[in-house]
Chain A
Amino acid sequence: MGTNPDSTAETVARAQRGDAAAFEEIVREFDGGLRAFSHRVLGPGWTEDVLQEAYLRAFRSLAQYRAERGAFRSWLYRIVYRCCLDEQRRKRKRPLVWASSLEELPSPQTSESAVAARDDLWDALGMLSTEERACVILVDGLGFDYESAGTILDAPRGTVASRLNHARPLLRRALRESLEETEGEGHARIPR
């Protein structure tokens, strides 16, 4: 992530003093990663609502954030994760719509095999538990170390490692099978 820790710290301090514009700067800085995180943890259709709630919650709780207790980025991800869990609790009352998720998103120019692999990876993500999914997205997808991922997920480092050990083979298998299938069908790397 190309953020400058010094300028982020200063913006956070300004936001802690109630500067709403500074808070919006922070949101815009981290929104990309948080949007990806919440979308991949919860599945399609909930991202905007969850982020609205999470950002509002973050704004209300900003005064409680202390830099010496941990990175601001982790603090923000933790709030978003909790909002995801809250949303999921509410969502359980409604049908789960994990499948066909990617169809509603703008598709970048990419090969058919890559699209197939992406869809298969997405389906495989849907087969993991929320906690495992969040672990793999944070560590492998967003580059957090185990310690920070544990802080965000409220789990010990060992639990993070064990969730990753369970989730990774399943996702890797999905990717490999997808690649084998598309190569077998002669689809390899044909630009759309």
Chain B
Amino acid sequence: MPEYRDDELAQALSELPVPATSADFYTRLRGRITRTRVRPHRWILTSRWTLAAALIAAAGLSVGGLALADAFGPLHGARLVINPSTLGGKNGISTCDLIGKPADQVAAKLTSSGIGIEWRFMHWGTSVAPTGKGSPTGITGGRTDVVSSVPNDSVVWDVSPDGQTKAFVFVQAPNDPNAPTISTGDCTS
């Protein structure tokens, strides 16, 4: 079926005025977004029980000292569920093969498949907060840095394809005390 664009109409439609943006449009939007709270990219799920366990762990940490942190796992006991997706490139790599792996291995795999990399370094936040009615609890206060390279031992926690030839690779420090437990949703192995 051939596609056709009516240039005469296009011209006429482009001349229709567009209502101006009100002076407080963005202020109102910002206010509503702030009240909505940030939802992380993927759901960072924390059940009541794990949250309670995290609180107990946090209390334990305050008594026992930070040296015990490793024994208790993440500070807030959160779990991050990543649903797998397939990247482009020659071999159609699944993110299941990349998540949890060191950055240098992931870089080699992606590069050999012709996929460019945009590195993002995640510093996980330290607190948990409700993200809205009926929504799971999320980790807040973290930040993502745009970086040109990352240490080889950084751990990949998510890969987000950007078209067929590029991917955003999100890494975290191997010893980030706030990093949630990564769980790859539908990965079989």
Question: Are A and B associated in one complex?
Answer: yes
Q: Please give the residue numbers on chain A whose beta carbons come within 8 Å of chain B beta carbons, in ascending order.
A: 5-6, 9-10, 13-14, 16-20, 23-24, 27-28, 31-32, 35-36, 39-40, 44, 47-48, 51-52, 55-56, 59-60, 62-63, 66-68, 102, 105-108, 110, 114, 117-118, 121-122, 136-137, 139-141, 143, 145-146, 157-158, 161, 164, 168, 171-172, 175
CA distance A118 to B26 in the complex (A): 29
Chain B residue at minimum C-beta to C-beta distance from A44: B19
B33: A residues at CB distance < 8 A: 20, 23, 56, 59
B10 on the A face (CB < 8 A): yes
B97 on the A face (CB < 8 A): no
Chain A residue at minimum C-beta to C-beta distance from B37: A18
CA distance A62 to B38 in the complex (A): 10
Partner of A105, one of B17, B120, B162: B17
Known contacts A13-B120, A35-B18; A18/B40 CB under 8 A? yes
B-side interface size class? 35 or more
Is there an interface contact between A13 and B168, defined as CB atoms closer than 8 Å?
yes
Is there an interface contact between B17 and A13, defined as CB atoms closer than 8 Å?
no
Is there an interface contact between B8 and A18, defined as CB atoms closer than 8 Å?
no
Q: Mark B127-143, 1 if CB is under 8 A from A, else 0.
A: 00000100000000000
Is there an interface contact between B39 and A168, defined as CB atoms closer than 8 Å?
no
In the assembled complex, 8 residue pairs joining A and B whose CB atoms fall closer than 8 Å, in A order, are A6-B166, A31-B21, A56-B32, A63-B39, A117-B12, A118-B12, A140-B9, A171-B12
Known contacts A13-B168, A146-B3, A161-B1; A36/B18 CB under 8 A? yes
Main secondary structure of the interface of A (DSSP, over half): helix
Count of A-B contacts judged by CB separation below 8 Å: 142
B63: A residues at CB distance < 8 A: none
B72 on the A face (CB < 8 A): no
B42 on the A face (CB < 8 A): yes
Known contacts A17-B41, A68-B85, A143-B5; A59/B18 CB under 8 A? no
Is there an interface contact between A17 and B25, defined as CB atoms closer than 8 Å?
no
Max chain A CB contacts within 10 Å: which of B25, B28, B41? B41
Chain B residue at minimum C-beta to C-beta distance from A158: B1
The smallest beta-carbon distance between A83 and chain B, in angstroms, is: 14
CA distance A140 to B6 in the complex (A): 6
CA distance A35 to B25 in the complex (A): 12
A137: B residues at CB distance < 8 A: 13
